[in-house]
Amino acid sequence: MRILLIEDEPSLGQAVREHVAATGHAVDHVLRLDDARAALRGVDYGLILLDLHLPDGLGLDLLKSLRNAGDRRPVIIMTARDQIRDRIEGLNAGADDYLVKPFDLDELAARVAAVARRASGNPGPIIRLGQIEIDQSGRELRRDGRRIDITGREWAVLDQLLSRRNRIVTKEQIEEALYPFGAEIESNTIEVHVSRLRKKLGKTFIETVRGVGYRLGET
């Protein structure tokens, strides 16, 4: 999932970016609302992490303008403990969740995973596809009951395919979800991840739609 992080405190922003990126998501970090608006115009983000006090305005104003425009993308707001009023206002304005600073990075990652699950239309954490069992909350895979290890990037590819199950997902859509702005991507990176997933999950698990992309069916 591609995530937009809007946070003007550099050290917190960097810590959040690194932690969430390590779980397989691509994070674009901006420090200002105008940069956030520009990024939102260009990229189909799956989630927005929003600080409320930014150098050029209030995060709540961005949230309200998104919701007024009919934009339902999940938003998690990050607030200081003394801003309870903002928090309530944020939830009323259409935020999906909130975290109180300072927050535990693992808790943040768990909330991000929960939002990703809801957005993919699979609120129940366990999905079964043929012999494969996918536990989305624990990020665990089992094949015929045996646990399979996959990397954060492989998980992110699988997550993209799961969120658009039975539909074709293009290589570009996967790249956009996995890599932030400015990342160097080798031309065959996605193919490599897909081929490793097939080795682990079975040859027919991911279907190639020649010249278009990939599809996860009812294996």
Residue closer to Ca ion by CB (options 78, 201) is 78
Select the span of 1-9, 70-78, 108-116, 144-152 touching Ca ion (CB under 5 A). 1-9
Contact criterion met (CB below 8 Å) for 2 and 25: yes
Nearest to 95 by CA among 113, 71, 117, 131: 71
List the x/- string, 9-48, binding to Ca ion by CB under 5 A.
----------------------------------------
Residue closer to Ca ion by CB (options 37, 53) is 53
Contact criterion met (CB below 8 Å) for 56 and 32: yes
Is 86 a binding residue for Ca ion by CB under 5 A? The answer is no
CB of 54 to Ca ion, least distance (A): 6
Restricted to residues 87-146, the positions that interact with Ca ion (CB under 5 A) are none
Token duo for residue 209: 């739609």
Give the strand pairing for 140-143 and 47-51: unpaired
By CB under 5 A, name the one of 28, 51, 89, 97 that touches Ca ion.
Answer: 51
Site size for Ca ion (CB under 5 A): 3
Rounded Cα–Cα distance for residues 10 and 103 (Å): 16
Residue closer to Ca ion by CB (options 17, 193) is 17
Residue closer to Ca ion by CB (options 53, 73) is 53
Handedness of CA 21, 1, 137, 167 (dihedral sign): negative
- Residue located via tokens 């646990």: 147
Restricted to residues 195-214, the positions that interact with Ca ion (CB under 5 A) are none
Rounded Cα–Cα distance for residues 19 and 113 (Å): 13
Residue closer to Ca ion by CB (options 32, 142) is 32
Radius of gyration of the chain (CA): 18
Handedness of CA 185, 189, 194, 199 (dihedral sign): negative
By CB under 5 A, name the one of 19, 53, 171, 215 that touches Ca ion.
Answer: 53
CB of 44 to Ca ion, least distance (A): 25
Q: Which residues bind Ca ion (CB under 5 A)?
A: 8, 51, 53
